[in-house]
Amino acid sequence: MTARTSRGRRPGAPDTRAEVLAAARTSFAEKGFRGTTIRAVAASAGVDPALVHHYFGTKDDLFVAALQIPVDPRAVLAPVVAAGPDGAGERLLRTLLSVWDDPELRPGLVALVRSLMSDDGAGLVRDGFIPVVVGPVLAGLVPDRPEVRIPLVASQVIGIILGRYVVALPPLAQMPAEDLVARVGPTLQRYLTGDLP
């Protein structure tokens, strides 16, 4: 079913990379994050596992690539975490809004979020995106119980993203980013570092 150019196919050619990525997307969707292995993706794409590592790095990296997010959330969040826990709630939200408010990035992000609300997509968020991609980065900010704090942060962030960008609920959709940061930043700060029962 795959279109071939008249030049045929060489190992490592651009369509090999695309085929590995397609195989990874299928596997993550059908088997989830935990059920997917580099070895199985390589077999499905008919290449050596070393080539998958060469193209995409670790399984975490392959997962981020398969999500086809226009930015790597680990790279986006790293400076937020590096600046330390004071004011991290506001910085985290300001950073996320700056990515989502970019008109070139937003359509792809909205489509991604919608796809993640399906059954398969929800599994990828639950087993991959939060615990593997976002969680370990944000864990550098919290004093204790990251397994409680980070899902609470995620709950407020998901709600803001849906309200502002997917549902476009007034006035969340129109609110200047700094107003939203001032209103919601303290929530994120409390979840990250505050006294929580």
Name the site residues for a copy of itself (rule: CB under 8 A): 113-114, 116-118, 122, 125-126, 130-131, 147-148, 151-152, 154-160, 162-164, 166-172, 179, 182-184, 186-187, 190-191, 196-197
CB of 115 vs a copy of itself, minimal distance in Å: 10
157 near 188, Cβ under 8 Å? yes
Nearer to a copy of itself, 105 or 154 (CB): 154
Residue 80 or 184 with smaller CB distance to a copy of itself: 184
Smallest distance, a copy of itself to C-beta of residue 134, A: 11
Smallest separation, CB 168 to a copy of itself (Å): 6
Q: State in angstroms the smallest separation of the CB of 61 from a copy of itself.
A: 22
**Residues 157, 192 contacting (CB under 8 angstroms):** no
E strand residue ranges, 37-132: none
Q: How far is the CB of 188 from a copy of itself (least distance, A)?
A: 10
- For a copy of itself, the closer of residues 30 and 120 by Cβ is 120
Long-range contacts of 177-180 (CB under 8 A, 24+ apart): 177/94, 177/97, 177/98, 177/101, 178/94, 180/93, 180/97
- Give the other-Cβ count within 10 Å of 16's Cβ: 17
Q: Which region, left, alpha or beta, applies to residue 72 given φ > 0 means left and ψ of -120 to 50 means alpha?
A: beta
Considering beta carbons, is residue 30 or 147 the nearer one to a copy of itself? 147
Task: Label residue 68 left, alpha or beta by phi (over 0 means left) and psi (-120 to 50 means alpha).
Answer: left
Which residue number, 135 or 140, has a Cβ lying nearer to a copy of itself? 135
DSSP 147-197: HHHHHHHHHHHHHHHIIIIIS--TTTTTS-HHHHHHHHHHHHHHHHHS---
**Considering beta carbons, is residue 18 or 173 the nearer one to a copy of itself?**
173
Tell the smallest beta-carbon distance from residue 51 to a copy of itself (Å): 33
